[in-house]
Structure formats: C-alpha cells, structure tokens
C-alpha cells in the first residue's frame, strides 16, 4: 500500500510540475513569440497529454482492487512511453525532411498510430466518448472510404500517407488550429485562472450582489452580472459555474427560488459569459485570426447580441421572481460597498481596461493577454492572503497548466478530424452536398449547422467545438449569402449554448450538485431562461446590422432592436404565465405567438406584431392600474330629495 501511495505521490508531483511549466510557457510565448514549429507544437501536445494521463489515471479509484490499480498504472506508463517516443520521432522526421527527401518507414507509421491512440485516450478521459468516436470513425473512413458510394467515396489512402498527413504533417493534429491556440489562446486561459485564483472573482461577486440588491431577483441578478463578467475572462463554463455558483446558488435558493431554477440561472448566466466582450473566453482573438478581421471588429459585433442575451435573462428572472412573490433583498441584509471593496474591485477592472487599452493602441491580442496576466498577478500580490501563502501561486500555476492541457488535447483530437477531411476531400464534398441540398434555402443550412454545433459541442470546450464546425460547415453558410463574420458568430453561439443543452449540458450538471437539484431539470430550466440565445444567431445572420457589419442601417437596427426587446418580454411573460398578475392560456398563447412573430426577420410580419404587442402591454398596464386604484363608489343618498321638477 505504501508503494502504491509513493508511486501516486511521485506522479502527481510530476504532473504538477509539468502543468506549471506549461502555464509558464504560455506566458513566455506571449512575450517572445511561438516556438519553432518543428519542436514547439509537438512538445506542448506531449506535455498536455502527460498532464491528462497523470491527472486522470486509469483504475485509480479506491473501489478498484490492487491488481486492477496496478494494471492501470502499467497501462498509463506504457501510454506515457509511447507518446514520448512518438513525439521524439516526430522531431527527428521533421529535421530529416528539412535536409533531404525523406521516405517514411513502416515504423514511423506505427509510432504515429500509437501517438494518435494515446491522444484519443487522453481525450476520452477528459471529454468522454462522443468526440473520440467521431475521430476514430474519420480515421477508419480515411483508410476504407474508397469503397463507399457517392460523395462519401474517395480515391483511397493507405496507412503511411494517412499518418504522414494527420501526425507528421501540419494539416492535421499540428495544423493551423493548434498553432493559433498555442500562440493566442493559452495566455488568456492562464489569465482567467490567475484572475480567479488571486481573489478577483470574490470582489466581483460582492460588487454584483451590492449592485443588484434592490432588484426583485436580488442574488439571481447578481449571479447574472458576476457570471457575465467572469465568464468572459475564464472561458470555461464549468469553472465559472463552480467558482461563482458555490456562492450565488445558495443565496438564490435562500430568496425563495426553487433548486432547479437556482441552478438553471447560474448555468445560463455562466454559459453566456463566453459571448461577452472584450475577451469572450479568448474566442474573440481566435475568431479574429480565422476571419482576418481586427479584434475591435469582433468585440463590437459581439456587444449588442450579448446585451440582448443578458437582458433576456434579467427579464426572465424578474418575471419569475414577481410570479413567485419574491421581493428585493431586505434593507438590513443588503451588502454595502466600502472603500476597501472599491479598491478590491480594481483587481478585476484594471486588467480588463488594460486589454482594451493595449488593443486600442494597436498592439496584438497576445500582448494584451500578457499585460493583463501580469497586471492581474501583480494586483493579486497586494492581497495579504496571496502574499502570505506562496502555495496559492503554485496552485494557480498548476490549475492554469491543466486548463491549458485540456484545450490543447481537445484541439489535437479535432486536428485528427480536420486532417482526414483535408486529405480525403470529404469536407469539400460534404459542404457541396449540403449546399446542393439547401440550394438557396439558407435557413435549412442554418438549422443543420446549429444542430451540428449542439451535438459536437456536448461535453467539449467551446473553442474546439467552434473550430471544427466553422471550418467544415462555415463555407456552406457563407456560400448561401451569409456574411463570414456573422457565420463565425452563429457557429460560436451554438457551440457556447451546447453547454446547457440536454442531454449532456455540462454547465447544468456542474450547477445541479451545488443547487441540490435534478441535473436534467436544471438543464431544461437553463434552456428556457436562455431561449433568446438560441434565436439571436438566426436574427443576426439575416440582419447583420445587429453586428454592425457593413453599411450601418439605422432603420433596420432600430426595427430589430425594438422587435427583439418586445419579443423578449412577450416570450418571458407567456412562458411564465405572469405579467403583473397571473395570465391564463389564451393570453399566454397570444404572447408566445407574438414573440415568435417578432423574431421573424421580415418587416411585413414584425411591424403588425410589434403594434399588437405594444397594444397588449398598454392594455395590461391599464388594467393593472385600474385594479390598483379602483374608482370609489358614489355614496347612497339618504337625505331629503332636493331635486326640482
């Protein structure tokens, strides 16, 4: 037993060291530039896989017997040896191809197969089977797809050529997505962990609670504010839910919301954090790199849809609170901000301002991430709790490295799929087939893409899910007339919302244990609260003025904004059955119908629906006013009749 304990302790320590080094290299790359392509990408992927294998060992659970645990350790050691050997061979092959015409050997091919198996196993341990099954299916298709009929068939690819492209080349595992993630994304992953680990999240939550204490939703609204801001920095739905939800969910329940509603509010709010500029969970910078647009263009485009998403959440919570008879937080229980709180809030505000300032000054997003990370760390050192415990900074570095490792492994697995698509031409064939099927029916292509995003995004980090869908299906939508940036935003939105979409719904499943609620019920509540988020992407595809794309049309923008605001209110009151007082199904159905009509991007439908919605709001307000201020009855005359004939 002691030997087993010593083995585990040794490898946990080794994993922590590798994690910290991976986090530090992300900061170094932001400062000095990316490593040489021959060594850098494979070294980082190898380190990421080692971190995963050590952090999630096979058969290490106490429920397994000693024999099974030692079997798992033997398998893990074999996987470690295999990925190290394959990575070393990758470097040797790259060096040889630079100086001579190298002929790949059978040993090279089988080492590559071993490396892909280890990568797939690491992906399985992190994210489960779905994405692994897709990647394995793509490899099988690459080797045997030449016998398939129609557009699925290809000319045939043998094992050597497959491995040359998927592993040894820069079209697969080590392709453009891996390069962008290492160069741009990882420093923002580290930034989010540093910000949270040094105490900025606590200051943000306290400030949010103080600002929303007078609203009906109270703590529920504070969860929305805190999660919106912190989720933009962290880029991880699960981390955001656990980080802010452990504080906000009990408060939401205490105010009278049901457990499922409390968990659903936090899940929906934390998920939406990734669509909030300026950072958008590092997606803004990845999107800028892929589209060739300036970062500021991406951030401005994301602003209005994010405001409507969170405006819808605020409205839904307010209606739910009113329907349940939940009032504002009592005066005696409200948080009052002190001078120390205002100073503490700078820990969160200043790094965000630094990102904006660096980008406005014309410097690169990577430099903005570096400056923000160093500033967050420096401000954290002003906290006594951070200075007095050096282990806290070590823990931050280890957690940041593990977060980086999960992103790198996921993108590596996505690289397998993209490598096969490029090698066989399936990506182009698939896009052409969908395009022919949809012909000029853009809406059909959008529905297919949205469904694919929700399925592939289940259990996956948002960035890898966004990458694979936008690279495969993005060209289809663009070909049918959509703006390229709007297409990227569409795919990104549904990749984000997959975190609350049943049956996987990792955001809801993270919130449910804290709320002590049923995970599936929590997920459905989150989807209902975030319903507008599933609709907004369709709107800005048809109305790109909402993203400030192209020539700005004030009339179109005003029409879309007003109709979207009315739709949010109609749908929330219709679904909840409350609009100042209880409303019943005839009026609820009318409100839901009007809300749906207001979302149809056609002025001939929207204008009449807007008129009816406004009329319904006015009638409801007048009836509520009449009920609150009834006209007094005339007193009955009891005196003599003084009328004159």
- What does the DSSP 8-state code read for residue 578? B
pLDDT for the residue numbered 553: 87
Would you say 247 and 511 are in contact if contact means Cβ atoms under 8 Å apart?
Answer: no
How far apart, in Å, are the Cα atoms of 403 and each of 24, 61, 190, 392?
Answer: 13, 22, 8, 16
CA dist 156 and 173 (Å) reads 21
> What does the mean pLDDT of the chain come to?
86
CA dist 155 and 532 (Å) reads 45
Per-residue pLDDT of 212-247, as tens digits, reads 878 877 778 888 888 888 878 776 788 888 888 888
Would you say 463 and 282 are in contact if contact means Cβ atoms under 8 Å apart?
Answer: yes
pLDDT for the residue numbered 644: 42
Lowest-pLDDT range of 44-53, 241-250, 620-629? 620-629
How far apart, in Å, are the Cα atoms of 71 and each of 54, 56, 76, 602?
Answer: 15, 15, 9, 63
Average pLDDT of the segment spanning 7-24: 90
The strand pairing partners of 500, in sequence order, are none
pLDDT higher than threshold 80 for residue 396: yes
Would you say 517 and 252 are in contact if contact means Cβ atoms under 8 Å apart?
Answer: no
- What does the DSSP 8-state code read for residue 332? G
pLDDT for the residue numbered 639: 44
CA dist 585 and 583 (Å) reads 7
Delimit the domains of the chain by residue range: 2-131, 554-623
pLDDT for the residue numbered 1: 44
CA dist 70 and 55 (Å) reads 16
CA dist 575 and 328 (Å) reads 22
pLDDT higher than threshold 50 for residue 442: yes
Higher pLDDT, 191 or 202: 191
Per-residue pLDDT of 501-529, as tens digits, reads 988 888 999 999 999 999 999 999 999 99
pTM of the model: 0.84
pLDDT for the residue numbered 64: 67
pLDDT higher than threshold 60 for residue 202: yes
pLDDT for the residue numbered 636: 47
pLDDT higher than threshold 80 for residue 151: no
CA dist 220 and 266 (Å) reads 8
pLDDT higher than threshold 70 for residue 278: yes
Per-residue pLDDT of 329-368, as tens digits, reads 787 777 888 888 888 888 888 998 999 899 888 888 899 9
Q: Pull the structure tokens for residue 130.
A: 């779905």
Return the ∠ at Cα 596 (arms to 270 and 537), rounded to 5°: 45
Give the SS3 label for residue 92. helix
The percent of residues in the chain predicted with pLDDT above 70, rounded, is 93
**Residue with the two structure tokens 């629906």:** 609
Per-residue pLDDT of 121-145, as tens digits, reads 999 998 888 889 989 999 999 998 8
pLDDT for the residue numbered 638: 45
pLDDT higher than threshold 80 for residue 59: no
Per-residue pLDDT of 289-320, as tens digits, reads 888 888 889 989 999 999 999 999 999 998 88
Q: Angle at which helices 554-576 and 585-598 pack, to 10 degrees?
A: 160
Average pLDDT of the segment spanning 562-572: 92
Would you say 174 and 415 are in contact if contact means Cβ atoms under 8 Å apart?
Answer: yes
Would you say 354 and 375 are in contact if contact means Cβ atoms under 8 Å apart?
Answer: yes
Q: Pull the structure tokens for residue 186.
A: 């990882």
* Range ranked top by mean pLDDT from 332-346, 458-472, 604-618: 604-618
């Amino acid at each position: 037993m002691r030997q087993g304990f010593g083995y585990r302790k040794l490898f946990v320590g080794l994993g922590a060291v590798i994690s910290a080094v991976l986090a530090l290299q992300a900061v170094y790359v932001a400062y000095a530039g990316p490593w040489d392509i021959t060594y850098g990408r494979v070294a980082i992927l190898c380190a990421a896989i080692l971190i995963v294998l050590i952090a999630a060992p096979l058969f290490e659970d106490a429920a397994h017997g000693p024999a099974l645990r030692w079997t798992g350790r033997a398998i893990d050691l074999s996987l470690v040896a295999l990925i190290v050997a394959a990575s070393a061979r990758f470097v040797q092959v790259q060096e040889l191809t630079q100086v001579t015409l190298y002929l790949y050997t059978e040993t090279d091919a089988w080492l590559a197969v071993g490396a892909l198996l280890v990568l797939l196993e690491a992906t399985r341990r992190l994210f489960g089977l779905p994405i692994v099954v897709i990647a394995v299916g793509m490899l099988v298709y690459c080797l045997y797809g030449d016998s398939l009929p129609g557009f699925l068939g290809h000319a045939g690819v043998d094992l050597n050529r497959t491995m040359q492209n998927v592993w040894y080349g820069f079209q697969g595992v080590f392709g453009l997505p891996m390069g962008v993630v290492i160069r741009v994304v990882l420093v923002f992953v580290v930034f989010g962990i540093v910000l949270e680990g040094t105490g900025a999240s606590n200051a943000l939550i306290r400030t949010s609670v103080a600002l929303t204490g007078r609203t009906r939703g109270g703590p529920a609204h504070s969860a929305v504010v805190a999660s919106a801001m912190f989720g933009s920095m962290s880029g991880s739905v699960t981390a955001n839910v656990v980080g802010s939800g452990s504080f906000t969910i009990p408060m939401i329940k205490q105010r009278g919301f049901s457990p499922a509603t409390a968990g659903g509010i936090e899940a929906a709010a934390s998920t939406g954090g990734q669509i909030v500029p300026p950072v958008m969970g590092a997606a803004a910078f990845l999107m800028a790199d892929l589209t060739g647009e300036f970062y500021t263009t991406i951030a401005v485009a994301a602003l209005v849809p994010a405001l409507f998403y969170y405006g819808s959440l605020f409205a839904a919570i307010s209606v739910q609170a009113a329907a349940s008879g939940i009032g504002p937080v009592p005066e005696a229980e409200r948080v009052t901000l002190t001078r120390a709180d205002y100073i503490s809030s700078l820990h969160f505000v200043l790094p965000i301002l630094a990102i904006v300032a660096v980008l406005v000054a014309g410097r690169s997003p990577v430099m903005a991430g570096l400056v923000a990370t160093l500033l967050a760390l420096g401000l954290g050192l002003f906290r006594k709790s951070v200075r007095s415990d050096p282990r806290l900074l070590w823990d931050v570095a280890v957690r940041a490295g593990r977060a980086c490792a999960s992103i790198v492994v996921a993108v590596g697995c996505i690289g397998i799929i993209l490598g096969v698509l490029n090698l066989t031409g399936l990506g182009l064939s698939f896009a052409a087939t969908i395009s022919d099927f949809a012909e000029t029916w853009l809406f059909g292509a959008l529905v297919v893409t949205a469904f694919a995003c929700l399925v592939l995004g289940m259990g996956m980090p948002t960035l890898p899910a966004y990458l694979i869908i936008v690279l495969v299906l993005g060209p289809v939508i663009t070909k049918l007339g959509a703006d390229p940036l709007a297409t990227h935003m569409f795919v990104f939105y549904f990749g984000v919302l997959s975190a609350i979409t049943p049956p996987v719904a990792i955001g809801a499943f993270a919130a449910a244990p804290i709320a002590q609620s049923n995970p599936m019920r929590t997920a459905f509540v989150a989807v209902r609260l975030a319903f507008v988020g599933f609709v907004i992407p369709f709107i800005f595809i048809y109305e790109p003025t909402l993203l400030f794309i192209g020539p700005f049309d004030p009339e179109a923008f005003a029409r879309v904004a007003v109709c979207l605001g009315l739709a949010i209110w109609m749908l929330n009151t219709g679904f909840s059955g409350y609009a100042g007082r209880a409303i019943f199904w005839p009026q609820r159905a009318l409100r839901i119908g009007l809300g749906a009509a207001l979302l149809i991007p056609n002025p001939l439908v929207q204008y009449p629906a807007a008129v009816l919605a406004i009329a319904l709001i006015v009638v409801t307000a007048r009836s509520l006013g009449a009920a609150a201020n009834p006209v007094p009855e005339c007193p009955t005359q009891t005196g003599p009749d003084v009328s004159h004939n």
